[in-house]
Amino acid sequence: MIQTATLDNGLRIVLDHRTSRVVYCGLAVDAGTRDQLPEESGMAHFIEHMSFKGTRRRKAWHIINRMESVGGELNAYTGKEHTVYYCSVLRHHLSRALDLLFDITLRSTFPQRELEREVEVVCDEIESYNDSPSELIYDDFETLLFRDHPLGRNILGEADRLHAYRTDDLLRFARRLYHPGRMVLFVLGDVKMAQVERMAARLCDTDGAASLPAVIREAPGALVPPPDARIKKQTHQAHVILGTQSYALSDSRHTALYLLNNILGGPGMNARFNMVLRERNGLVYTVESGLTGYTDTGLWTTYFGCDHSDVERCLRLIRRELARLTDAPLSPAALAAAKRQLKGQLTLAWENGENVAIGMGRRLLHQGSTQTLEEMCRRVDDLTATRLWDVAQETFSERKLTTLIYS
């Protein structure tokens, strides 16, 4: 059963009560790359790193050891619209975990000596990413699609700018965005809401939140699809991404596109792109498609890597599969099979407590609501062939698609 609550300081709490010896918990912070000022390149991600490097109560070693010493795990990641800090611990160590999570998110000091060391780690991360074209191409595609908009910003930032940051720069960013009213505490495990509320109220700062200025995000609106692009790379393979702007998380069409994406390039080996490119023609090792939802827009993409000489053939096969969905509605049998597969995947994924907990926190953060597995499956069941056809025609129209190629 999923429950929610809100503390007086604006902190929202969401709890999924499950019988387990393990508790998954964390804080989803409404602060991501798109919230950076123009001069704050890479700041959201750098804050995530530096939050582990010292607080008013703890030094870096104490933060690392706090969870590890009891067999727990502490981690974090940064996205375009949020930063998530999360733990997995034995149930009786929940108070320890929450104490640490609130400490690193609300009371980090970003010491200059640690900053100067950690910036080299982040720069190494940037170089590692630059050496992975199958990952880098996604960032370059978002930069191409959301050009001149904050959603097009690279999450990691640029090395020169990162080296210029000082403690005061990080403190200003944190004061602007890291406060209880912009956070969701998520917990999944065998605990009661009253217990979580008491812990959070005791550990979470309650002053200052109301006086902070609101953060206004610029909506991208409907973008004109940019022209296809080709970037020269010294890679053994060509790397190709094809995609378009799509729907916001709250858009009723998002579920329909989610099902269409699963048919085309989801994780199943029977996904259409995998069948036509790999199984039948042996043209690729990896082909996948994905759907990214933001609060006010979205992104649909498909990616593959192949021999340079096979790029155009692969693109023709991809477009042929898209045309199958835009030319005619799915048959009743195909629709039933697609729904059955997706609901099975959702049910299996629901057993991964960590991913469910993080997803639960992000949904409450950005959409102000929660969703059970039964509700998700019901939304899939409600989809009709006509609805899917309309969404396919709107999304996969040739005039809306943009292609980026590393060659």
Same fold, 2-211 and 229-406: yes
pLDDT computed for residue 216 by the predictor = 73
CATH code: domain 2-211 is: 3.30.830.10
Residue 181 has a CB neighbour count (10 Å cut-off) of 16
Contacts of 129 (CB under 8 A, 6+ apart): 135, 136, 139, 156
Which residue has better confidence, 361 or 148? 361
Angstrom distance (rounded) from CA 185 to CA 205? 13
Angstrom distance (rounded) from CA 160 to CA 163? 5
- Cα distance from N-terminal residue to C-terminal residue, the chain: 50
| Average pLDDT estimate for 206-224 | 66
Please tell us whether the domain made up of 229-406 is placed in CATH 3.50.30.60: no
The answer to whether 287 and 277 have CB atoms below 8 angstroms apart is yes
Domain boundaries, the chain: 2-211, 229-406
Burial class (CB in 10 A: 0-12, 13-18, 19+), 354: middle
- Whether the CA torsion 262, 266, 271, 275 is positive or negative: it is positive
pLDDT computed for residue 217 by the predictor = 83
pLDDT computed for residue 219 by the predictor = 81
* 76-119 pLDDT tens trace: 999 999 999 999 999 999 999 999 999 999 999 999 999 999 99
Residue 115 has a CB neighbour count (10 Å cut-off) of 21
Angstrom distance (rounded) from CA 327 to CA 329? 7
The answer to whether 157 and 50 have CB atoms below 8 angstroms apart is no
Contacts of 126 (CB under 8 A, 6+ apart): 156, 157, 158, 159
Angstrom distance (rounded) from CA 148 to CA 208? 33
* 358-406 pLDDT tens trace: 999 999 999 999 999 999 999 999 999 999 999 999 999 999 999 999 9
Q: pTM to 2 decimals? A: 0.95
Residue with tokens 């609550």: 5
Indicate the average pLDDT of the chain: 95
pLDDT computed for residue 261 by the predictor = 98
Q: 73-78 and 83-90: which strand pairing?
A: antiparallel
